[in-house]
Amino acid sequence: MTELLIIKTGNTMPSLKATRGDFEDWILAGMGLGAGRARVVDVAGGQILPRPGNAGAIVITGSHEMVSDRLDWSERTAAWLVEAVSCGTPILGICYGHQLLAHALGGEVNNNPRGPEMGTTEVTLPGEASADLLLRGLPSAINVHVSHSQSVLRLPPGAIRLAGNHWDRNQAFRFGDCAWGVQFHPEFDAGIMHAYAAEEQSLAEITIFDTPFGAQILRRFASLALGLPSVGFLSRSRSMEGRTPS
């Protein structure tokens, strides 16, 4: 199997990590892979990335840091990502990783003027998504988990917008043939989302419920980038059967 490189840009909350693991564990679980099936490089902790062309496929995690702070390790990683994109390496950026990828490629990242977005929300997929290798087959509206205060305010030149909603126009994009960013958290489940929402007591009426689409997207990326068995997508109506918002 092609080697998966997970670029770790931060850690989850200590209490959650103690019971559920960390970002990289959730990503691997969503892909249907066991622990040890990826090389994890903790760039926020000072670890050094390999040469860009040596990575078979790349996932960039979320973080509690802010891309707009231009931290040294983050800017070094951004420069590295430009090279990785030029090598044609399949890349998936998640939340902070989505923003960092956009920043690296010439987009604009900063605080969302509407404030933080938290919970399980609906995003819509424009027509471009129907032809996208990662998202094609999904319905035109899907429910996903979100937890962020910064957003990609302007996509990189040449990027294709693949998802958005009333809160954040750029919930997903593709650059070139095989580099994707998703603002939402495909690695979250409802339990993880509840833990994050509990930390944001000022946000009233946060809606959270189970949704299958995040794991399906992770498995599709694993299929495309790592040569794993392909996966189909559920229809929206089937996916929502028996789901009750909480």
Given the residues 95, 117, 148, 178, the one annotated as active site: 95
Instruction: Please state, in angstroms and rounded to a whole number, the distance separating the CA atoms of residues 196 and 85.
Output: 31
Please list the residues that pair with 42 across neighbouring strands.
8
What is the chain's pLDDT, residue by residue, as a tens digit (246 residues)?
Answer: 578 999 999 999 999 999 999 999 999 999 999 888 899 999 999 999 999 988 899 999 999 999 999 999 999 999 999 999 999 999 999 999 999 999 999 999 999 999 999 999 999 999 999 999 999 999 999 999 999 999 999 999 999 999 999 999 999 999 999 999 999 999 999 999 999 998 876 566 799 999 999 999 999 999 999 887 655 544 333 333 333 332
For residue 129, the SS3 value is: helix
Q: What is the CATH number of domain 4-239?
A: 3.40.50.880
- Give me 130's structure tokens: 């129907």
Which stretch of DSSP H or E encloses residue 195?
Answer: helix 190-198
CA dihedral 128, 130, 132, 135 (to 10 degrees): 120
Q: Respond yes or no: is residue 95 known to be catalytic.
A: yes
| 185 catalytically annotated | yes
This prediction has a pTM of 0.92
**CA dihedral defined by 218, 221, 227, 231, rounded to 10 degrees?**
60
Exactly one of 24, 178, 185, 199 is catalytic; name it.
185
Instruction: Tally the residues of the chain.
Output: 246
Gap between the Cα atoms of 118 and 92, Å rounded:
21
Where do the structural domains in the chain lie, given as residue ranges?
A: 4-239
